[in-house]
Structure 1
Amino acid sequence: MSALGMYASDGNDWYGTYGVIVGKNGSDDFLKFWDRKPPMQHDWADQNGVDTDTQNVFFKAKDISIPIAIIGNDEADFWAKHKAFFNHLSQPGTRRIYVNELSRSFYCYYDSCTDFSRLTRIKTDEGNRVACKYTLKFIEPAPSFFTQFAFLTDKDGNYLVTQTGNKLIVS
């Protein structure tokens, strides 16, 4: 199975553009339920227990960890992809992360890199691939409740793509 088209953010395919492969179970955190915010309460001095508002339910932001690897064809390609991916993720605002396996997009922002290890040496013999493994933490500030998106196709059912080969998504 190709990694191409499995994950994208803001229309940029993670593998095709940045050489990013998402690890096994990489979409698990997207499926976790959101933690509920505590309801409003008031402890009246002249009543037993507490008065709790159970009519309004709100949820906390969700932490999402994604295990990835960045793979470059050589040292220069690795550094170019590493820099481009970090610059993309660290832009202001949220990124629309599309997860093909779930057929859903999630609006998140990059928070931190919680784990890192090199899979190969950075300085390698010419022609050898360079790879590093990371665990990236994203924050989904507002629950999306699995908003579905549609892809644009032509009359023959072929996906409409950008000049860089990314599928066009209508949200």
Structure 2
Amino acid sequence: MMAKKYFVLPLALLLLTACQSAPKPESTSESNPELKAAAKKAHSATPHQRSHGASAGHRQSFIKDYDQNGDGVLTRAEFDQARAAHLRAMDSNQDQRIDEVEYVQEFVARMTEEQKEHRTKQLKQAHVRFGVLDKDKDGDLTVKEFAVSGTRMFAGWDLNKDGVINEQDPLPTP
């Protein structure tokens, strides 16, 4: 059991190092000012497209993304207007056509922006979680304070309470 504990940290560090040293794509919004401007334009012209599976939450996201007047209802006209704006924003050479480069550049820029937003939210949440775990508010997590989250995390996945997490455990409900 102890060997597993000591194996996970070096493995995580190895993966982190590999990810950081991996070559970055040539055309990212960070290295290409035109792409960054196009991403900003596309992002502001129309909301993000969602390509998630069907669920009530995804439907709400889809409506919110394209609802032009913010009334919580998406009409076909609003959807078509948003899509037309999206096309104009993607069409960097204004030829009324989206070539593969324009399409992929918009996607890369959108994903880069979404990742940046996600990272910012997750970092804020990490500070909140630390504050919750640091019961005595001394700025450090004791082993006991840290163990509380692990106990809760394991219990959240071991729903059949057999002390093992595997495919037989039911999935947690949101």
TM range (shorter): under 0.3
**Which of the pair is proportionally richer in helix?**
2
> If the length of structure 2 is used for normalisation, what is the TM-score?
0.20
Higher Cα radius of gyration? 2
Task: Give the TM-score normalised by the residue count of structure 1.
Answer: 0.20
